[in-house]
Structure 1
C-alpha cells in the first residue's frame, strides 16, 4: 500500500507541473499537426505505383517487342502509371534524360525479341539519373519479369521438342511433332503477351498509412521518451534534498520505495499515452487501428521500458543538470534512430539493425502495425523486448540507488 502512496504522490507532483504538461502533452500534439500536414505528401496514401515517364529505343521491331511495349508497359495495369516515349537513337534518349524530360530510359538491342525466344542472352541497357532510382528500379523489374517469363517458356518448348524428336516413333514423328509444336507455340505467344506483369498496381488489402497517422505515432513515442529524464530528475531531487535517504531509513521496505518510484513514472507515462491518443483522434481524426487492446498493451509495455530507463538514469547520475543534458541528447539520438524524425526505411540496413537498441523503435513499429491491422502474434517480439528491457533497467537502477 505504501508503494502506491509513493506512486500517487509522484503523479500529483507532475500533474501540477505546468512545464511538464507543455512538454509531454501540448508539444507532441502541435508537432503532430505540423508534421502530419506538411509531410503527408511523402507517404503513398493512394496505394498506387509512382508515376514515371520512361524513354525507350527500339533497334528492331518484332511481334514480341510489340507485345512488351503495347501489352505490358502500356497495358491496362500500368498505363496510368507509366508514360512511354520512343526515341530513334540512344543519343536522343540521353539528351532527354539530361534535360529532365524523362525519368529513366531503356535501350533494346538489335533482334531483342527474336533473341530471347531462341534462348540467347540479350543485353538491355537501362539508363537512370540521380534521384530517380525508384522509377528506374520499377522499369527494370517489369522488363526483367517479362524477359524471364518468355525465356522460361521458350526453353521449355525447345526441351519438349528435343525429347519428342528422340522419343516419338519415326513413322508418326512428323505428325505428332508438328501438332505438339503448334500447340506449344500458341501457348508461348499467349504467355509472352499475357497481361500478368511482374509489377502490378494494386492494393495489398491494407490501406496505406497517412502522414498524419505516422507522425502521430512517431511524436507520441518520442515525447513519452522524455519521461526517462523527468522521472530520473524526480528521484535525483529527492536524493539531493535527503528525502529519499529518509525514506530509506524509515520502516518502509526498499522494494516498496523503488516500486513506488517506478509506478509513479509508469502511471504518468500511461496517462500521457492515453490522453495523446484520444486528443489526436478527435482533433485530427487519426485512426489508431481497430484493436484498442493491442494499442493499450503496446503502450503499457513501452511505458515499462521508459520507466525502467528512468530508474537506471537516476541510479547512475547525481546531478539534475547532467540528467537534463544526457537526457536531452539521448532522447534526440534515440528519436532519430527509432524513426520518430525520419522513417526508418530511409536509413541503410546497417543503421536499421543498430536502431534495435532504441525502445521507441520497437514501440513505433508495433503501433504502426496495429494501425494497419495485425495479428496478436506479430506483437509478441516488440512487447517482449520492451518489457524485458524495462525490467532489466529497473533492476540495475534499484541496485545503484540502494547503495547510494
Structure 2
C-alpha cells in the first residue's frame, strides 16, 4: 500500500505539471499530424507495385517489341499500359502525372538479335517514382537477358549440329530442329512469374500510422529521464530522507517510484492512442489486446530504465543532458525520426539493441495485422529489459 501511495503521489505531481503535460501529451499529437502529412508523398504507396502505369512508345511493329508488350507487360496485373505514337509525348505524360514510367522501344529493336545484341530502350521517369522505375527497368533487363540467352543457346546448338552426324540427315531437318529449339527456349523464357505486393501482415501501414507509432516510441522514452529526475529531486530536497525515517522501507520507496513512472507512461500512451485515433484518424490495428500488451511492456521497459538511470547519476544537470541529447539519439537510432528502411546496414544493426526500436516495430506489425507469435518476442524482451533494469537500479539506489 505504501508503494501505491508513493506511485499515485508521483502521478498527481506530473499531471499537475503543465509544461510536462504539453511536452509529453500535446506535442506528440502535433508532431504526428505534421510529420504524417508532410512526409506522405515519401511514404505513400509508391513503395508498392500496385497500379503502375507505363507510357509505351514503339517506333515500328517489331516482333520482339510486340512479344515484350503482349507476353510480358500485359500479363503483369499491377501494370497498366498507355500507348503513344510519339516519343516526345512520354515526357509530357510524366509531367502531367498520367504515367509513372515511360518506355521508348527503338526501330527494328530485334535487328541484331541473332548476334545476341539488342538496341537500347529508353526509360523515362521522375525522381518521386524511382522504385516503380527500378521495377520496370528490372523487368526489361530480365527480358533482354532472356532473349540474349536464347540467341546464344541457339547459336551454340546450331554450331554443334553442323559438326555432328545430324548433318547427314539433311540441312532441312537440321534447320527444323534448330527452329524447334529456338521456339521452345523462347516460350520458356517468356513465362512470367507473378509479382504480388505483400506486407508483413494483412494491411499496409501509411505514413500517418508510421509516425504515430514513431512518436509514441520516442515520447515514452522521456519517462526514463522524468522518472530519474523525480528521484534525484526528492533526494536533493531530502524528501526521501524523511520517507526513510518513516516505517516505509527502501524497497517500498523504490517500487513506488517505479510504479509512478509506469502509471504515468501508461496514461500517456492511452491518451496518445485515443488522440491520434480521434484527431489524426490513425488506425492502430484490429487487435486491442496486442496494442495494450506492447504498450504495457514498453512502459515497463522505460520505467525500469528510469530506475537504472537514477541509480547511475547523481546530479540533475546530468539528467537534463541525457533528456536533451541522449533521448534524441535513442529516438533517431530507433527509427522515430527517419524510417528504418532508409538506414545504412551498420545503423540497422545498431538499432537492433535499442528498446524503442522493438516497440516501434511492434506497433507497426500490430497495425499491419500480424499474429501474436510475431510480436511476442518483442513484448517479452521489453518486459525483461524493464525488470532487469529496475532490479539493477534498485541495488544501486539502496547502496546509496
TM-score range relative to shorter protein: 0.7 to 0.9
2:142 matched residue in structure 1: 145
Residues 180 and 369 (structure 1), Cα distance of their counterparts in 2 relative to 1, 3 Å cut: farther
Within 1, Cα distance between the matches of 2:172 and 2:384?
A: 73
The CA deviation at 1:126 is 8.4
1:310 aligned onto 2:306: yes
Residues 131 and 141 (structure 1), Cα distance of their counterparts in 2 relative to 1, 3 Å cut: same
2:250 matched residue in structure 1: 254
1:400 is aligned, of 390, 396, 400, to 396
The CA deviation at 1:134 is 3.4
Over aligned residue pairs, what C-alpha RMSD do you find? 4.3
Within 1, Cα distance between the matches of 2:146 and 2:283?
A: 41
1:350 is aligned, of 334, 340, 346, to 346
1:280 matched residue in structure 2: 276
The CA deviation at 1:370 is 0.5
1:21 matched residue in structure 2: 21
1:285 match: secondary structure: coil
Q: Is the 8 A contact 1:7 1:263 kept in 2?
A: yes
1:209 matched residue in structure 2: 205
Within 2, Cα distance between the matches of 1:81 and 1:215?
A: 34
Within 1, Cα distance between the matches of 2:18 and 2:388?
A: 31
Deviations 1:167-224 (A, max 9, x none): x999999999999877655544444444x267x4655684322222111111111111
Q: Is the 8 A contact 2:49 2:132 kept in 1?
A: no
1:376 matched residue in structure 2: 372
Deviations 1:332-354 (A, max 9, x none): 11122211122111121111211
Q: Which runs of 5+ in 1 are unaligned?
A: none
Residues 395 and 40 (structure 1), Cα distance of their counterparts in 2 relative to 1, 3 Å cut: same
The CA deviation at 1:286 is 1.3
The CA deviation at 1:393 is 2.1
User: 5 Å matches for 1:191-270?
Assistant: 191-194=188-191, 196=192, 200=195, 202=197, 206-270=202-266
1:32 aligned onto 2:28: no
Q: Is the 8 A contact 1:221 1:364 kept in 2?
A: yes
User: 5 Å matches for 1:85-234?
Assistant: 131=127, 134-147=131-144, 149=146, 185-194=182-191, 196=192, 200=195, 202=197, 206-234=202-230
Residues 105 and 173 (structure 1), Cα distance of their counterparts in 2 relative to 1, 3 Å cut: same
TM-score (structure 2 length as normaliser): 0.78
Q: Is the 8 A contact 1:224 1:273 kept in 2?
A: yes
Within 2, Cα distance between the matches of 1:359 and 1:251?
A: 36
The CA deviation at 1:122 is 7.3
The CA deviation at 1:253 is 3.1
2:80 match: secondary structure: coil
1:6 matched residue in structure 2: 6
Residues 202 and 338 (structure 1), Cα distance of their counterparts in 2 relative to 1, 3 Å cut: closer
Within 2, Cα distance between the matches of 1:289 and 1:5?
A: 35
Within 2, Cα distance between the matches of 1:284 and 1:127?
A: 39
Deviations 1:43-64 (A, max 9, x none): 2247445868789999x98633
Residues 182 and 5 (structure 1), Cα distance of their counterparts in 2 relative to 1, 3 Å cut: same
2:335 match: secondary structure: coil
1:288 match: secondary structure: coil
Q: Is the 8 A contact 2:312 2:393 kept in 1?
A: yes
Q: Is the 8 A contact 2:103 2:123 kept in 1?
A: yes
Q: Is the 8 A contact 2:29 2:276 kept in 1?
A: yes
2:12 match: secondary structure: helix
Within 2, Cα distance between the matches of 1:295 and 1:81?
A: 42
TM-score (structure 1 length as normaliser): 0.77
Within 1, Cα distance between the matches of 2:345 and 2:189?
A: 36
Q: Is the 8 A contact 1:337 1:358 kept in 2?
A: yes
Residues 363 and 247 (structure 1), Cα distance of their counterparts in 2 relative to 1, 3 Å cut: same
Within 2, Cα distance between the matches of 1:375 and 1:163?
A: 57
The CA deviation at 1:303 is 0.8
1:67 matched residue in structure 2: 67
